[in-house]
Amino acid sequence: MEEEKLSPMEKEVLLALKEYGGRATTEDMEKRMELVKIMNASSWLQSKGLVSMEENLKKIYSLTPEGKKFLSEGFPENKVLEEIKEGKRIEELEKKFGKKEVSIAIGWILRKQWGRIVKKDGEKYLEMTEKGKEALKEKSEEEKALESIEEGKEVDEKIAKILKKRGAIKEKEKIERIISLTKEGMKVVEKGIEMREEISQLTSSIIKSGKWKRGLRKYDIHAFAPPIHPGKLHPLTQIIQKVRNIFIEMGFEEIKGGYVESCFWNMDTLFIPQDHPARDLQDTFYCKNPKEVEIDDALLKKIAQVHENGGNTGSKGWGYHFSEKDAKKLILRTHTTVNTIRFLAEHPEPPSKIFSIGKVFRRENIDTTHLPEFYQIEGIIHEKNANFCMLVGILKEFYKRMGFENIRFRPAYFPYTEPSMEVEVEWQGKWMELGGSGIFRPEVTEPFGVKEPVLAWGLGLERMAMMLLGLSDIRDLYFSDIQWLQELPLI
């Protein structure tokens, strides 16, 4: 390895290692340079084969307030041991030190075989043993360990465990990083390393001044370079933006709406019967406060007639008594079609081409393809002579631009469209349903004065994202896997 290919920081690390005999901890080397510089330079030196790095998990102990008290005043057993050289009544010891401290002291004295309890004239005495007399001559292992910990020295693991149990010390883990010179690194150091000013980046001022002539640092184009992952939008956000751009390019205008809607706008205006399973508590999120909202009385009665007998639509309706109370209940919207019907109510005259992308909420059990909160892509075309073939063509064009080639349509049933169809695309050899579509029924459009055909669709975003990103579990879209997010290319 040529010295010219080393950066100033790399040279400084090599010189520091030389001073420490070729091996040092980052803690030692921090006396010369900052940790971040040490680690950066060492990583590059490791890739060049000049140093090796290892990490060890090390336990660090520190004294607790209880441990500091033991260190200054002594352990209970040591204080009591001083008092029983000739033996002493336990009652007297309790009067001097307190029952609690004597109880602790006796426990440790008996465990360490420093003393024994004997009975004399019906009273209990604590007498010192030969082992106890020896213990008086020198500091106990625990006392020595506390002193060592206070000085920042290592202690025996077995003693540390006892002190930790007694609440005298606390433990934390620390990663010790050790950097060592390899044989190749030792050769470079032995040849001699010269610290001199080098130009690593050219600027116009350096070129004009001629300073570059003093020497440019040489670069090794074969040296390892870690991958750099720039900041970027979440993949789901990228797909949403792509969907938005496609519809805008196709001449559509985006609309938005709120998350909280009344059953009236979310269900009733779309001719969804009030006894439909989708309106049950187990399928829909109902609001507690407020529970309901007021609806325009004239419009409410018009929609009620459509449900009960078809009104002026030519339909027979659903043939039940419409509940105005149920219509006023508030829910978290179950689809973005509610945005569409509100738009049509405000803009009954054609032409219009609108779309929306937003979150919807349903009581779904979470699994590989279902979530209780997900995005829906909604859109309509409202114009004279709009027809079913036009709807098929629009959806084919959209999915083609999204990157799907194999697309098919199946007949389906929805309360608010007729005819209706489901859109499917091929994925991993299977057909996956991505959404529903159709032409709004007169029961939906007539109450708002909409006379021309309205082509409508509601498409799933997350399932489409799974296919584009190669995922098999929809939940992976919302897990914060940083490595996956960094390495994923732009969509």
Give residue for tokens 């890739």: 47
Q: Which residues pair with 24 in a beta bridge?
A: 179
Structural domains for the chain: 1-58+159-197 (1.10.10), 65-158 (1.10.10.10), 237-486 (3.30.930.10)
Would you list the DSSP string of 459-488?
A: EESHHHHHHHHT-S-GGGGTS--HHHHHHS
Task: State pLDDT tens for residues 280-316.
Answer: 877 899 999 999 999 999 999 999 999 999 999 999 9
Token digits for 441? Answer: 């029924």
Instruction: Count Cβ atoms below 10 Å from residue 133 Cβ, excluding itself.
Output: 13
Distances, alpha carbon 261 to alpha carbons 149, 256, 484, in Å: 65, 13, 36
Distances, alpha carbon 478 to alpha carbons 72, 235, 359, 471, 485, in Å: 55, 10, 14, 12, 11
Task: State pLDDT tens for residues 223-241.
Answer: 556 678 888 899 999 999 9
354 vs 21, residue with greater confidence: 354
Give residue for tokens 């010192």: 128
Task: State pLDDT tens for residues 434-465.
Answer: 899 999 999 999 999 999 999 999 999 998 99
Q: Which of 304, 345, 298, 302 is nearest to 325 (CA)?
A: 304
- Alpha-carbon span 207 to 258, nearest angstrom: 59
Confidence of residue 1 (pLDDT cuts 50, 70, 90): low
Token digits for 445? Answer: 């459009």
Give the model's pLDDT for residue 195. Answer: 65
Q: What is the pTM of this model?
A: 0.57
Q: Which helix (H) or strand (E) holds 411?
A: strand 407-414
- Alpha-carbon span 343 to 359, nearest angstrom: 18
